[in-house]
Amino acid sequence: MLHYIGVGGFPLPPPGLVPPPGCVPPPIPPVALPIVVTVLTATQPVFAGGRIVNGNKLAKIGVEAAELQQQKINRDLLLSTEESYWTVILLQEKLKTVRQVQALLDTLYRDVNGAYSAGLVIQNDVLKVTLKQNELSSTLMKLENGIRLSKMALCQIIGLNYSDNITLIDSITTESISPMIYFKPTETAVTNRVEKQLLDIKVKSEELQHKMILGEALPQVMVGASYSYNNLWLDQNSFNGLVFAVVQVPLTDWWKTGHNLKKQKIKWQIADNERRDLTEKMNLQTQQIWNELEETYKQIDLANATVENASQNLKVATQNYQAGLIPLSDLLEAQTLYRQAVDQQSEELITYQIKLNKYQQLTK
């Protein structure tokens, strides 16, 4: 026998019979239906008030500015290296001169000391030579220390470990090439300078920033496409596609945009004024370097003539002293004048070389 159990303990009647009053049939369980909806949308700006084009230009000149800045760093580093290098050469030339005069004094000391032993001169003459020797020894020690420190500075600039064995074999010559073969018109030289190009980029950057802000107030146009897929009922797939265009006209924040435009225009004008001011200063700087270069070149001729006269004077003074025609003090003075003349000559030659290097770097 089959029994039907109803809800709440009430039996269900056999099939075909009407259930008695109070008997509730069981609920029908829900049916789960799969629902799938996928929507893909892509948009592409076509016109954004010029901000896309100007943004690309800003990125390009940013890269250019970084490259120019690196060129300036390399140029300044090269100038520092050249100056340190020629400073070492100058000190080495002075050291040569001191040693040359020191050799003359050593010879003179032997002669004077011999004459004193023979009773031909007084002890005071010997003391004069000794004092001069001590003075040169002190100068020699200072020059050696200066050369060591200058070499350390040079090694630090070029990234080389310092060693006492490092030797600069270069030397200066009394003949220098005329600076006229390196001359360039001032305006042309300044136009090609890295600093001038950086100023031009700054002005251009401020101009593009002004255009970027202006673009915020202009209409914007975008195109796009949308694709959708859905499956809502009994595995029935549905596909839909849509192509659209959007035009946006900014109507709010016009006051704010106008205020920003005024601020940016002021920055643009400031950058342009700064460019004009610094360009004029660079013109003056270039002309000043050229004037100094010409002056130094002329000073070299005077220094060469002074060395020639001092050398001849020392030769005559040595002969006259040996002949007993002049006192020892005159000979010592002639040696001092000779050393000073040679030192001045070396300084003019090195100064010319440093200024020439600077002029070439700033006008190439």
**pLDDT at position 9 over 50:** no
Choice among 47-61, 139-153, 233-247 with the minimum mean pLDDT: 233-247
What residues does each domain of the chain span? 7-29+36-69+76-363
Please report the pLDDT score of residue 253 as a whole number: 62
Please report the pLDDT score of residue 12 as a whole number: 47
Please report the pLDDT score of residue 140 as a whole number: 94
pLDDT tens sequence across 263-312 = 888 999 999 999 999 999 999 999 999 999 999 999 999 999 999 999 99
How far is it, in rounded angstroms, from Cα 346 to Cα 259?
A: 62
For the chain, helix (H) and strand (E) counts, in that order, are 6, 3
How far is it, in rounded angstroms, from Cα 170 to Cα 165?
A: 15
What sign has the CA pseudo-torsion 313, 318, 323, 327? positive
Contact present, 85 and 168 (Cβ < 8 Å): yes
Taking the whole predicted model, whether its pTM rises above 0.85 is answered as no
Task: Please give the single-letter amino acid code of residue 10.
Answer: F
Calculate Rg over the CA atoms of the chain: 46
Q: Indicate the average pLDDT of the chain.
A: 81
**pLDDT at position 194 over 80:** yes
Choice among 85-99, 118-132, 169-183 with the minimum mean pLDDT: 169-183
Q: What contacts 332, CB < 8 A, 6 or more positions away?
A: 128, 129, 132
pLDDT tens sequence across 196-252 = 999 999 999 988 888 877 766 665 655 555 655 555 555 566 656 555 455 555 655
Please report the pLDDT score of residue 10 as a whole number: 42
Q: DSSP string spanning 44-64?
A: EEEEETTHHHHHHHHHHHHHH
**pLDDT at position 11 over 60:** no
Choice among 16-25, 255-264, 290-299 with the minimum mean pLDDT: 16-25
Q: Which of 75, 99, 90, 78 is nearest to 168 (CA)?
A: 90
Contact present, 136 and 95 (Cβ < 8 Å): no
Please report the pLDDT score of residue 223 as a whole number: 52
**pLDDT at position 100 over 60:** yes
Q: Report the side by side order of strands in the sheet with 36-48.
A: 36-48, 220-231, 237-248
**pLDDT at position 45 over 80:** no
- Residue 2's pLDDT band (boundaries 50, 70, 90)? very low
**pLDDT at position 7 over 60:** no
Average pLDDT over residues 320-337: 91
Q: What is the CATH number assigned to the segment(s) 7-29+36-69+76-363?
A: 1.20.1600.10
**pLDDT at position 128 over 80:** yes
